[in-house]
Structure 1
Amino acid sequence: MSDPDLMTRLLAAAKPHVPFDGWSEATLRAAADDAGIAPGLVAAVCPRGAVDLALAYHEEGDRTMLARLQETDLGALRFRDRVAFAVRARLEAVEDRELVRRGMTLFSLPPYAADGARAVWRTCDCIWTALGDTSDDVNWYTKRATLSAVYGATVLYWLGDGSEGHARTWAFLDRRIEDVMQIEKLKAQARDNRMLAGLMAGPFSGVLSRIRAPQGAQHTGMPGRWNGPK
């Protein structure tokens, strides 16, 4: 297990280098030198090298977002506005957009694309869990998949947004969440439709009922478990 204090020191030392060298081995070496951390210890906390440093930075942003959600009274907000607030809090946890831009460059590379997808999935899982989601079936997946799409699109828009206070980004986010709410409304109408309800109760219900959210040690990344026959 990596030492969180060492990782914190590495991250703090790395951030000034990332805008110039990206989340690269050059940045990792420079950060280690600046922080006075021996190469053996660097290898212990970042066994995969710079990609572990980039992932640690993403997780740091998730923790900052969760701390803000915990200290904010969201009770007066509509649920859709709570989700928007959480996504906004996650983006506002970023001190320099170039760190995120460089991260997206890294995670667009084929060897690291799955790492990037898992990082976004975990962020959306953190949001849903913080907002009180208790689903344990297929809805656990659909909620996180939908929010992952919204979050990813919003990050891309935010990276290019030069409006004051990122006003255009927050308007874009509201529109994306409104789109999701319309989908949820259509799903509810489909459930109320007797013909569709009968169809779903037939060939699909047995399959969907066996899908469960990951539990315990499984709950570390993307999807989960199947309770069907082995």
Structure 2
Amino acid sequence: MKTEHKQAQNATTDALLDAALMHVPFDGWTEATFTAACKDADVDAVLARAICPRGAVDLALAYHARGDALMLQRLKSEDLTGLRFRDKIAAAIRYRLEAVDDKEAVRRGTTMLTLPQYAADGAKAIWGTVDAIWNALGDGSDDINWYTKRASLSAVYTATVLYWLGDDSLEHQASWDFLNRRIDNVMQFEKLKAEVQANPLLKPFLAGPNWLADQIKRPQVAEDLPGSLPPRR
């Protein structure tokens, strides 16, 4: 019964989202868009508000989640055998952006989710995307590396999205070149970290920080992500 209810709820959200996307280029992710989506999708306003309490904000986050799902589907269908790991990451980010069918919807959503009242939602959405990428590519880290990998990729992903939004090159080739340069920067930093760790002269100074890093473990629940609110007591 719960499964059927969830499916019905998801179907209603999809209908509202599809209707909203017709209005977002003109009105953004706003109350006007949400109201129009309810009317166009023939969804009762009370039901729509029950599913999306914050209206268009929740629809914008649903649109982001839809893109993540499409990226994961493509990652499963593509043959990445033989690619270097850094190239698999680049491919995943490219698939994520190529899943977008309306760049203006992303532009409007980016603008909204940088507002102070929605910044936590934006951070959680980005973290969810890069977490999905790492998990899909088989990341098994359970220590501080779980955080640093996702933090680094969040920075790469965010920078690439902002560049991509203004990119008018053929098939967004300039964006993919930009992405590769950002990943190269991260790889150079990781190489430097490894060299520092391997330097015997620095080991006495790194003993304390390394011990502290060893105490940090990955979250035990999926909701324990940046941007999440603590449970109510």
Q: Is TM-score (shorter-chain normalized) higher than 0.5?
A: yes
Q: Tell me whether 1:26 sits opposite 2:32 in the alignment.
A: yes
**1:72 aligned partner:** 78
Alignment of 1:121-200 (within 5 A): 121-200=127-206
Give the Cα separation in 1 of the matches to 2:174 and 2:97: 14
Give the Cα separation in 2 of the matches to 1:218 and 1:12: 27
**1:118 aligned partner:** 124
Structure 2 unaligned segments of length 5 or more: list them.
Answer: 229-233
1:187 alignment partner, SS class: helix
Deviation at 1:217, TM superposition (A): 4.6
Deviation per CA, 1:1-39, whole angstroms, max 9, x where unpaired?
Answer: 961111111111110100000011110110010000001
Number of aligned residue pairs? 222
**1:209 aligned partner:** 214
Give the Cα separation in 1 of the matches to 2:26 and 2:127: 28
8 Å Cα contact 2:29-2:57 kept in structure 1: yes
Deviation at 1:223, TM superposition (A): 8.1
**1:62 aligned partner:** 68
1:103 alignment partner, SS class: helix
Deviation at 1:198, TM superposition (A): 2.8
Deviation per CA, 1:172-194, whole angstroms, max 9, x where unpaired?
Answer: 00000001110111111111111
Q: TM-score, normalised by structure 2?
A: 0.91
Give the Cα separation in 2 of the matches to 1:33 and 1:223: 32
**2:231 aligned partner:** none
Q: CA RMSD in A?
A: 1.5
8 Å Cα contact 1:122-1:222 kept in structure 2: no
Structure 1 unaligned segments of length 5 or more: list them.
Answer: 225-230
8 Å Cα contact 2:120-2:227 kept in structure 1: no
2:202 alignment partner, SS class: helix
